[in-house]
Structure 1
Amino acid sequence: MNRDLRKLWLIIPDQLPSVIRRCPKCKEKTEFQNSGKFRVNANGRLLDVWLIYRCSHCDTSWNMTIIERANPENIDKEEYKGFLSNSPQLAASYGSNRELFIKNKAEIMEIKTGYHILETPTITPINKESCLEIQIKNPSALKLRADVMLAGALEVSRSQIKKWFDAGLVIAGQETLLPGARVFDGMLIQIKKEEVIRQELLDV
């Protein structure tokens, strides 16, 4: 793992949330599950993309709007390829995005589940005072403690993580994090070098 570059962690629920909606075939509200497949439609110079959900009872489909009436030139080329190839990572990312559910006026079926982290390398150099920087994407708004997440993902003991927090080595947005701090979407976690903290204490 290259520690000189920032890491991007996408937090994905082990079980993606389903949508509760009225099924026209079942004639009642049913659970619609993420199929993991996209529908892409090019109409002239404009592009629409949907994520397909299917009724768990009769397999009727419902399309959740991802991109609407967009110029293809404004869409990331790799992401566009992912839509066409039904990328599992894209289906998981968009299928756990609460803002997208709200935009589509979709009723989410809450599921208590575990999670896993998809790490993507970036080309952003870390701050010279840091030994590790992690940008967090938590689109599903899972309620996670930063110390528990870091211990599991970095394979570091909880006692060692606690020492980092107690020593003020873990910060976010220039603020020192407390052990019980919650993880939020867009959060940048920086783990500072111990010698930097020692020098700061000497300068006080």
Structure 2
Amino acid sequence: MLPWVVRRTGLPLLSLRCADCRSESAAAGAGRFRVNANGKRLDVWLLVRCTSCDRTAKLTVHERAPVASLDPADLNGYRANDPELVASTLLDPLLARRDRFTLDWTGAWRLDAPPVPLDERWPVRVEVVFADPVPVRPERLIAQGLGLSRNEVRRRIKCDVPPRRRTSAGFAFTVMPGD
């Protein structure tokens, strides 16, 4: 069995309408939080920038949260703009739903895969593991990894998951001999 690993190479772009220029794309850039105290309550926002006009927008992470209710490690991470906390916050599906954005993963991931010997023993079994929760279509991932067309993938691949539905969970597939 050959191992393939999908890794995140950067933060994905956000599909989020800009209030100024009406563009649909924003980026978290280096990732910065803004923390505002109001008495014993905190507001925490993740700052993002429009890729067209450079306007800054705020994504609400915590709103009027009691200081005691926040994990001290997270609070220190918000203050220090911890890159791992930025990534985990941005990838949180609850934040995306609340702030009404989706993630565009184009160019933000890579496939680490050894070459598949397509002319040797048949069938060849491949296991795909996700190091980060990058949603990809198995059909496109397999086509990219094997250097085949998607039609060829449909003919030669037996997959454990629906090949046209996005997934970020590991799966396995078998490459069958060509005709």
Q: After superposition, what is the alpha-carbon deviation per residue over 1:5-31, rounded to whole angstroms, capped at 9, x for unaligned?
A: xxxxxx9722222222332332x2231
- Tell whether 2:110 aligns with 1:114: yes
- Please, which runs of 5 or more residues in structure 1 have no aligned partner? 1-10, 117-135, 146-178, 185-204
Contact 1:12–1:92 under 8 Å retained in 2? no
Q: How does 1:22-171 map to 2 (within 5 A)?
A: 22-26=17-21, 28-35=22-29, 36-111=31-106, 113-114=109-110, 140=133, 142=135
Q: CA deviation at 1:115?
A: 7.7
Contact 1:19–1:108 under 8 Å retained in 2? yes
Contact 1:13–1:96 under 8 Å retained in 2? no
Q: Report the residue type matching 1:32 in the other structure.
A: A
Q: What residue in structure 1 maps to residue 3 of structure 2?
A: none
The number of equivalent residue pairs is 121
Provide the TM-score with structure 2 as the length reference. Answer: 0.55
Per the alignment, do residues 137 and 77 of structure 1 end up closer, same or farther by CA in structure 2, a change over 3 Å counting? farther
3-state secondary structure, aligned to 1:114? strand
Q: Cα RMSD over matched residues? A: 3.2
Per the alignment, do residues 34 and 45 of structure 1 end up closer, same or farther by CA in structure 2, a change over 3 Å counting? same
- Please, which runs of 5 or more residues in structure 2 have no aligned partner? 1-5, 113-129, 139-158, 162-166, 170-179
- Counterparts of 1:68 and 1:12 in 2: how far apart (Å)? 32
Percent of paired sites with the same residue: 28
Provide the TM-score with structure 1 as the length reference. Answer: 0.49
